[in-house]
Structure 1
Amino acid sequence: MKRTLIRSALLLSLTALAQSASAQGSSPQGATTLRLGYFPNLTHAPALVGLARGTFQKALGAVKLDARTFASGTTLSEAFAAGQIDVAYIGPGPAINGAARGLPLQFLAGAAEAGAVLVARQDSSVKAVRDLAGRVVAVPSLGNTQDISLRHLLREHRLSVGAPGGVTVIPIPPADIVAAFAGKRADAALVPEPWGAALQAQGHRLIGDEKTVWRGGRYPTAIVIVSRKFAQANPTAVKAFLGAHEGAVNFLNRSPAAALGLVNTQLEKLTGEKLNPRVLQRALTRTRFTAALDLAALREYADLNIEAGYARSVPDLAGLVWSR
């Protein structure tokens, strides 16, 4: 019931925001600014690399890049719905949910696969997924990619959410999860990298790696979306950004050591914490970067959205892909 009320409230809120953005016009013809949203996560490394190397701005030329960070897909979706963001790195969960609720978005590219792990607090008795019964598990935000993945994983292990003796799922931003574990506010967490590796480095227990979370690790963790209105009015800018994004992905795969240095520097600027290079390297081994969109995986993810109670139908995903 609680999740149904949350879903209904979000539906009304996002629909109203989308209608307002559509009426006002999210971007003028021949925009002079491209507003980019992203997270301070390793799974958004293409954004971090493109910003650190200046390749996004170089590709955009006279179009100014305005980059903004968000703590979760929920807050980014709200900004996108309000017409405050033109292009965004976001998890497939919020993107698909937004499309199902009428947000005027299109899929621009893939960004990262896997890169999410389930970690239990070291002083808890949780040693496997089955031990989560009656426990509190943190995710970045309710309805986000990790939340939906967690609910499916729990369902596979015949664990309920919210019922007496079941699992309690709470939202905690990834950058705050280390402090949350120290304060014993959660017994476990399904988090994107590098926060999973950071928790491990502190002695917390890995109980589900990126392969056991879902689909053997072959699932999208971050994709790139674009406002339909912005894309229609500014195809040249969108194409230029896409080319720079693909270049960032290639740099990550071709020069991982150099890329990780840039990523670590950017994460320190955004979170105030510089990670041990070994921690970041461990996180990298569990994350893959690709600009390709895996529609088959996205369709399966849309089904998980319905299973989790966050959506009622699957949108036409192929029809949402932006065409050059």
Structure 2
Amino acid sequence: MKKFAGILMVGMLLILGACGGDDQASGAGEKETVTIGYFPNLNHAPAMVAKQKEMYKDHLGDNVNVEYKTFPNGSTFMKALASGDIEGGLVGPGPAMNSFISGVDVQIIGASSTGGTVIVSRDGSGIKSWKDIKGKTFISPRVGCTHDVQFETYMKNKGITSDRIGGSMKHVTGEPARYKSMFEKGDVDVATAPEPWASVMEKKIDANVVIPTSDVSFGETLPAAVFVTSSKMAENNSERTQKLIDAHKEAVKYINQNPDEAIDITINGIADITGQTLDKSVIENAWKRTNFTYKVNENVIQQFGNSSHNLEFLKEKPDFTGFVNKSFIQ
């Protein structure tokens, strides 16, 4: 009887061992995928550096397949986050705020950079200062996006508003990579330009800097891009979320320690997405207007939201309780 029991036990162990071997083989061939989103803008350089240096892959481990998806604007990015097409990534604070207020499950868990928004005018438009913008046409990536709010806040403080709220400025939208051609055609007079596109227009078509980064509203304090994910991801998969933000932090630190190489990576990253290879001198000029940091100031986020409400982009004054989660960047 004991002999039979021993044979039975050995048989069970062999079966279990075989099952375990099959599971491991199956698991090895079925990696889980994490998708990171970002834009072809200078403020999103940490994503390009992390991609090039495989930082997300290093932090997430061999059992995770890392993919990247790029977006032309914050609206499409936020739709992808809400639908689960991406797990997180970099987006402007404006679209993230609007989505949070609308009930979308999104949390800011880190910043990417500050600065980098420049207001430029078309050569020949006659616009040399903010006083000349009244009655002119300006362009931003989207209505109510980060750069739009920064510009319209500045102009409203000067007593000039857009036609959207009964003012004289005409507002159109378009991708920043197309700003240069729209200036050349004379379709628009002023651009709320995220870097490096402001520097591109300065160098290539003699665009004039009307409002520098240091002067435009929230120019040096508001995160120009933030790292976001869903609160569901942050709460239910905190270990993976921490690995994502650790990789992002590593990329930000790398940029600050190796600016020359980071500039080259950014040039190549933008070229891969837009087909435009930018001069290094252009990126170097844009780099001076950008401060790369992963730290978030939630007070500035609230101030920016209040300004969005004052400009009537938001119907109600926003409450950002629970929007910024700093636990992963401590």
Same fold (TM over 0.5): yes
Structure 2: which 5+ residue stretches go unaligned? 1-30
Is 2:175 the partner of 1:173? Answer: yes
Residues 71-80 or 256-265, more deviating = 71-80
- After superposition, where does 1:15-26 map in structure 2 within 5 Å? none
1:296 & 1:164 partners in 2: Cα distance? Answer: 30
Structure 1: which 5+ residue stretches go unaligned? 1-30
Q: How has the CA–CA distance of structure 1 residues 205 and 319 changed in structure 2, closer, same or farther, with 3 Å as cutoff?
A: closer
Residues 41-50 or 163-172, more deviating = 163-172
Task: Give the aligned partner of residue 270 of structure 1.
Answer: 273
Task: Give the aligned partner of residue 283 of structure 2.
Answer: 280
Q: Could you tell me how far 1:314 is from its partner in structure 2?
A: 1.7
Q: Could you tell me how far 1:164 is from its partner in structure 2?
A: 6.9
> Which amino acid counterpart does residue 56 of structure 2 have in structure 1?
F
Residues 176-185 or 231-240, more deviating = 231-240
- After superposition, where does 1:36-75 map in structure 2 within 5 Å? 36-61=36-61, 62-75=63-76
Deviations 1:248-295 (A, max 9, x none): 000111110111011111111111111111110000000001000111
Q: Could you tell me how far 1:323 is from its partner in structure 2?
A: 3.0
* Equivalent residue in structure 1 for 2:319, among 304, 309, 315: 315
Task: Give the aligned partner of residue 260 of structure 1.
Answer: 263
Task: Give the aligned partner of residue 124 of structure 2.
Answer: 123
* Equivalent residue in structure 2 for 1:289, among 269, 292, 296: 292
Is 2:105 the partner of 1:104? Answer: yes
Q: How has the CA–CA distance of structure 1 residues 151 and 216 changed in structure 2, closer, same or farther, with 3 Å as cutoff?
A: closer
Contact residue 106 and residue 321 of structure 1 kept, 8 A = yes
Task: Give the aligned partner of residue 204 of structure 1.
Answer: 207
Residues 233-242 or 115-124, more deviating = 233-242
> Which amino acid counterpart does residue 89 of structure 1 have in structure 2?
L
Q: Could you tell me how far 1:318 is from its partner in structure 2?
A: 5.0
Deviations 1:277-323 (A, max 9, x none): 11100000000010001111111111112112122132234554153
1:86 & 1:219 partners in 2: Cα distance? Answer: 23
Q: Could you tell me how far 1:88 is from its partner in structure 2?
A: 2.2
Deviations 1:70-124 (A, max 9, x none): 0111221222222322102111111111111111111110111011100000121
Percent of counterpart pairs with the same letter?
Answer: 27
Residues 61-70 or 231-240, more deviating = 231-240
Is 2:221 the partner of 1:228? Answer: no
> Which amino acid counterpart does residue 264 of structure 2 have in structure 1?
G
Deviations 1:37-84 (A, max 9, x none): 110000001111101111112211122212100011122122222232
**Cα RMSD (Å):** 1.7
- After superposition, where does 1:238-253 map in structure 2 within 5 Å? 238-253=241-256
2:202 & 2:75 partners in 1: Cα distance? Answer: 26
1:165 & 1:298 partners in 2: Cα distance? Answer: 26
2:38 & 2:267 partners in 1: Cα distance? Answer: 15
SS in 2 for 1:88: strand
2:324 & 2:38 partners in 1: Cα distance? Answer: 20
SS in 2 for 1:211: coil
Contact residue 108 and residue 226 of structure 1 kept, 8 A = yes
1:230 & 1:224 partners in 2: Cα distance? Answer: 13
Contact residue 121 and residue 128 of structure 2 kept, 8 A = yes
2:69 & 2:319 partners in 1: Cα distance? Answer: 28
Count of matched residue positions in the alignment of Structure 1 and Structure 2: 295
Deviations 1:172-196 (A, max 9, x none): 1111111111111110101110000
Q: How has the CA–CA distance of structure 1 residues 317 and 292 changed in structure 2, closer, same or farther, with 3 Å as cutoff?
A: farther
Could you list the structure 1 runs, at least 4 aligned residues long, displaced by more than 4 angstroms after superposition.
Answer: none
